Chains A and B, each alone.
Chain A
Amino acid sequence: MDANYFGKCKASELRAEIGQARKKGKPNARVKVVLKKIISNIILNKVELASLMNEVVYLLTLDDYEISRLCSHYIVHYAAYNPEDALNALEIYHRFAQDKDPLLRALSVKTVSSVRQKDFFRQGLIITRPLLDDNNPHVRTAAAFAVARLFHENQVKVVDSGLIEGLNDLLYDENKNVVASALAALDSIIQSSPSHSLNVNKEHLLSLIAGIGTTSEWKQVSLLDALMSYVPQSSDDALEMMDAVLPCFLHENTAVVLNSVKLVVYLSNFIASPESNFSGLDKRLGSALVSMLSKPPEIQFLVLRNVILILLGRRYLVDVDVELFFWNLDDPMYIKDTKLEIIYLLADEGNYEIVFRELEEYATDVDVKMARKAIRAFGNLSIKLEAAADRCVALLIDLLAGESPRIAQEAMIVMTNILRKYQNTYDDTLDHFVIHYKTMEDDDAKIALSWILGNYSESITFTSEALKYLCDTYEKESVPVQLAIMTAVVKYYVANPLDAESLVLQVLKYATEESGNPDLRERGLFYWRMITHEYNAEPGPNLQKYTKHVVMERRCQITPDAENIDPANLEELELNIGTLASIYLKSVRVVFRFAKQKSLPKSPALQERRKSMSSPKKSSKETNRKHELMRLDNVRPPLYSAPRSRSTASITADSLADSVERPSESLKNKFVRRASSMMGKKHT
């Protein structure tokens, strides 16, 4: 048990212990004990131990790999605190680099390249070069990563020393595992260097593909990444590659699977109609994705985020059933949330019945938070699918009547969105909503209620009671609610001057005379002047004619724009499947300011981007029409046009920047929030 050695020690004590150990005939066992004590102090963060450098460097020379290893660990950690004494180790490592034991050679190159000191760096340049040609694959692998480490310390010197060429040569190594490691090292170099890029030619491609079947799982991940650097010159080229990659879908390691999914999506850019060239491709891609959902939640989450990405861009490439994304009882919240988004994307005229039945179940979930999200999803769905709206409204009425007030409030908010899309379809049902006016307690719910009351005052039987109820506590409301109520009251007044007069007086009087809030006063005065203006004083049916004109504007339509994502963004994200950016579903530059921008390479085989959307066999005529309309803004810029300029990219980045703080915020939430914030402003 190492625990015995764990504890704070003073440098002087340890120095004495080393001295004692060295006096013994066979010191190794004792030395190891001391070294472990030293290592435990690294964990405890004791800087003082840096003074032991000389002693530890001496111990390096003991002929024992285990000891050398522990010493190296110490040196890497403390060299920065005691650089002068650490220099003594260089000579020993130089000797190690030529030792006949491959483990020592690997240890030497690993350690020297890990110490961030000038002299170590220089030494690193010297010993790494020959080790790249070592006869032992283990050493070559270690040397390859050493090059990457050195490169990040000083790019220019590493390039000058020819190490990059050496690394390049490893790409033709006979051992495929070494090739994969070299590729991984190169990849990190390329990512941070503007002048380097990886080009894979056809011949090399074949050898890499051959490697996929014979290397270990992690090497396969690197190989698949490298294949992304090959630019197919014809559709056949791409098809051939796809054929070679598809077996990887069956791999048990999800990192391998997702990387091969990324590659398949990439390749489909070069094939006119991948799904018809490869029968069953959509099914296989779908099942590859779904199969990863039986893994731990962290993995599931990543898979789900990428499913969203692929659905947004390549709906035609995946054939999945919406049922697979229904909640499991024990799913953590972040999974359920993401699943809801996918359910929303997958819902169409063909399956909305099933989806609704399921969502209905969620809407009565024990967890109120999730229930509210489910109700929101309902609302969004009925905006997306006209056929579903009736059903949704009926359900909202049910929800309002039942149980929890929080759910009732959510239902009210969702209803306003539905009303904005289907303006006068549900006038008869509004009574069922407004009757619950007393349960509205949250600001958002009150605003929603006021908005409905204002706009539909004539279709509702008890507008007056409800508004009176709201006005009773007018002084105590928050400003947004006060504004909403004021607008509602004025609208009501315009429609029904007799009943509303006293309310209008009460509200406007408070706003203009008592309230200290400038916005409220401003709007109050504005209404006041408008209502009392001589043009509006004409008695009879034309009373308040102009006010009506101003106040009762038609609601602006809302469209399900959650599905639209900038195609340039989408293209970039598709090249980044499985990376952190795929969690945020934002342009890579927004999250990673210094990341290299990826875009599809030019090739004669490059196809125009197709509209994603539901697979053609399922979509009805109606949806097709809708998609035609939406197509306009989703078409790729013409092929071979000048490359997208930086400035456009940065504009999108800026406009998104306000939400960077909460990058995960779901598309839909944003959508709902935007809608409700617009509501707050648009009433007037």
Chain B
Amino acid sequence: MASQIHFLDIKGKPLLSRNYKGDIEPSAIEQFPLLLLELENGDEDLQYRPFVTSKGINYVFINHNNIYVCALTRKNDNVMTMVVFLLRLIEVLTQYFKSLEEESIRDNFVVIYELLDEMMDFGVPQITDTKILKEYITQDYYKLIRKTRQVQPPNAVTNAVSWRKEGIAYKKNEAFLDVVESINMLINANGQVLNSEILGEIKMKSKLSGMPDLRLGLNDKGIFSSSTNDDDTPSELGASGSRKIEMEDIKFHQCVRLSKFENERIITFIPPDGEFTVMSYRLLSTQFLMKPLILVNCKTVVHKHSRIEILCSVKAQIKKKSTANNVEIIIPLPEDADTPKFTSEYGSTKWVPEKSCMIWKLKTFPGGKQYHMRAELGLPAVVDQEMELLKKPIKVNFSIPYFTTSGIQVRYLRINEPKLQYQSYPWVRYITKSGEDYTIRTKQ
């Protein structure tokens, strides 16, 4: 339960503050710039952390677009709640003002005060749903003037379904599902997968009228063979032999009925209006990813004092029918390299000296194909320290449409609005892409 929330500029100067309880002096935030300075100049043990204590006051803060959003408390409060709230606050304000930065805080201070009022009371988070908040806090006051007395207390807030208001109407009722899987993979120089994970998300954009009740069916492989099924003894698991997807860490949007899923393994929910993530999951099974989807083989030869040679080959180890799009291979180079010469079989290459790397781009990359690239760069004659930079891993970005690595599929999406009984159209798309951490180590 935060006592105060502050927005501060990059130096720690307050931009806007809201006091929720009276138990901390408003001047306490004036310490913040000093604390920041201490964190930055501190020795090894006092390294940067988003939590600081000083004189009995705890500062919990997040840096976003060169501003700090900071919560203060004196008590041993639930700091997880505070951090999640701050992140949500940033999200809501970003949705309200397109982007949240110093300028937009000044431009919208009245709305921000109102939002802070509604989103939190006595330091306890209340509503953090932009859709609902927008129902009764708008930027445009003139709109409000016309219907002043119609502003109602947000019913949805205290209703059982707090994430959807009543009376939504669409001409055409549609629901779009996106199954997105991001692959994180660590590959050693010999092309072996050291570890890998799939981070999956089922996103939805709902344009549905009324209060529809949805039921999402996935193929058996997914959820239903989850290891939490109590009866499976280990021996049976081994004997079954079939490829079982062990879905770990499933997380659902707050609209999904968790106990229903827990007991019957059925996903049912009344969706919020617009875009949201129905569920996210993680698969940590190397069984799907025995080999890299995009394999990069890179040989580097360093001729000290003169030049560096890079020989790189890349292979798409995916089905022939599939195609990887926008493949980018980011190869780190020594900081002091110069005069690049590139020859690639396919795609374009670019040197980015400010990031000390080169990027090899392949717009489309059909499955099973392999391409080569050669690069040569000059090195200064003067001896530098060690070639430490070459230890940085190679990074790969890509996306593969119409394909999920885990094989998860949406079987059906049943939409039922008890009162309106309309015809509706569900759509499904699949895509696999590189996660934030698809890297290949270069050390031999």
Contacts and interface: CB of A to CB of B under 8 A. Distances in A.
Interface stretch (A287-295, A541-549, A640-648): A287-295
Contacts of B85: 255
A592 B81 contact: no
Q: Which 5 A-B pairs have the closest CB atoms?
A: A291-B249, A247-B258, A137-B158, A216-B162, A145-B122
B76 A248 contact: no
Query: For this complex, into which size category does the number of interface residues on chain B fall?
Result: 35 or more
A17 to B, nearest CB: 17
A176 B159 CA distance: 9
A663 B53 contact: yes
Which of A69, A217, A665 counts the most B-chain CB atoms under 10 A from its CB?
A217
Given A175-B158, A247-B262, A283-B227, A3 B124 contact: no
A417 interface: no
B87 A296 contact: yes
Contacts of A369: 44
Given A106-B153, A145-B124, A333-B47, 9 more contacts: A39-B109, A39-B110, A138-B153, A138-B158, A218-B124, A294-B282, A299-B87, A326-B195, A595-B75
A291 B149 CA distance: 46
A69 B114 contact: yes
B78 A251 contact: no
Interface in A174-197: 175-178, 181, 184-185, 188, 191-192
Interface stretch (A342-350, A483-491, A575-583): A575-583
A181 B158 CA distance: 11
A36 interface: yes
A148 B110 contact: no
A176 B160 CA distance: 8
Given A138-B157, A213-B258, A36 B49 contact: no
Contacts of A106: 153
B122 A188 contact: yes
B261 A298 contact: no
A288 B45 CA distance: 30
Q: Chain A at the B interface: mostly helix, strand, loop or mixed? A: helix
A361 B442 CA distance: 11
Contact of B254 (A152, A191, A216, A663): A216
A3 B162 CA distance: 32
B357 interface: no
Given A66-B141, A177-B158, A302-B83, A332 B48 contact: yes
Contacts of A153: 22
Given A138-B154, A149-B21, A665 B45 contact: yes
A43 B141 CA distance: 21
B148 A66 contact: yes
Contacts of B106: 2-3, 6
B107 interface: yes
A291 B79 contact: no
Interface in B65-82: 73-81
A149 B122 contact: yes
A184 B1 contact: yes
A177 B162 contact: yes
Contact of A298 (B62, B110, B160): B62
Given A39-B113, A298-B50, A299-B84, A580 B121 contact: no
B257 interface: yes
A293 to B, nearest CB: 9
A323 B195 contact: yes
B271 interface: no
Interface in A133-189: 136-139, 141-142, 145, 148-149, 152-153, 175-178, 181, 184-185, 188
B87 A40 contact: no
Interface stretch (B304-312, B384-392, B400-408): B384-392
Counting chain B CB atoms within 10 Å of each CB, which of A102, A302, A582 scores highest? Answer: A302
28 contacts: A2-B109, A2-B111, A3-B107, A5-B110, A39-B110, A138-B158, A152-B21, A176-B160, A188-B1, A192-B75, A214-B160, A217-B254, A252-B280, A290-B248, A291-B248, A296-B87, A298-B50, A299-B87, A302-B79, A323-B195, A330-B436, A330-B437, A333-B47, A334-B48, A334-B49, A366-B389, A366-B391, A592-B75
B440 to A, nearest CB: 11
A70 B158 contact: no
Interface residues of A, number: 116
B73 A580 contact: yes
B251 interface: yes
Interface string A646-684: 000000000000000011110001000000000000000
Nearest to B112: A2
Interface string A256-298: 0111000000000000000000011001100110110010111
Interface string B215-239: 0000000000001101000000000
A254 B84 contact: yes
B228 A284 contact: yes
Interface in A5-39: 5-6, 28-29, 32, 36, 39
Contacts of B124: 145, 181, 184-185, 218, 222
B423 interface: no
Contacts of A110: 121
Nearest to B437: A328
Nearest to A334: B49
A583 B253 contact: no
Interface string A551-583: 000000000000000000000000010111111
